[in-house]
Amino acid sequence: MRIGLGYDVHKLVENRKLILGGVEIPYEKGLLGHSDADVLLHAIMDSLLGACALGDIGKHFPDTDSKFKGVSSIKLLEEVRNLISINGYNINNIDATIIAQKPKMSPYIDSMKENIANTLKINIDNINIKATTEEGLGFTGDCLGISAQSISSVIKKKTL
């Protein structure tokens, strides 16, 4: 078994959709980024890539490449799933945390887990997503941005 850690952060701005875990969340601001800026999926992808020693999302989907401008992070997660499989690994589990003062995440977590499980083709019971605030402290506490952390484990495929 191998383990990887992922972290991502994006700034909250007006006139952008807030998308986390592939779910559009109604809110007055969204996350700024080259893609859809889904910090949760970005952290998860980095943890999966790290567990397989395959670099990070910047290596595979650079923000200098126009083909990734505005792209759905669900599409990028599909590509990560393919990379993991090609390199001989199966995903064991994912545990992730969203850090945001607002909006409340709990109504959307089940949909996020479902999106991730469907995209990665793993059992939803192998995914845990939680959310926390920083009690009004720091940039997330001041509602300036949202961050996410993820830890994942993968298992080498059995060969016959």
How many helices and strands in the chain, by DSSP H and E? 5, 7
56/20 Cα distance (integer angstroms): 19
- Asked if residue 134 belongs to a known ligand binding site, the reply is yes
- Asked if residue 9 belongs to a known ligand binding site, the reply is yes
- Asked if residue 35 belongs to a known ligand binding site, the reply is yes
- Asked if residue 42 belongs to a known ligand binding site, the reply is yes
- Asked if residue 34 belongs to a known ligand binding site, the reply is yes
- Asked if residues 83 and 118 have their Cβ atoms less than 8 Å apart, the reply is no
- Asked if residue 85 belongs to a known ligand binding site, the reply is no
- Asked if residue 79 belongs to a known ligand binding site, the reply is no
Type of residue numbered 92: N
- Asked if residue 133 belongs to a known ligand binding site, the reply is yes
- Asked if residue 68 belongs to a known ligand binding site, the reply is no
- Asked if residue 114 belongs to a known ligand binding site, the reply is no
- Asked if residue 60 belongs to a known ligand binding site, the reply is no
32/1 Cα distance (integer angstroms): 35
Which residues are annotated as part of the binding site for a divalent metal cation? 8, 10, 42
Enumerate the known binding-site residues: 8-10, 34-35, 42, 56-58, 61-65, 132-135, 139
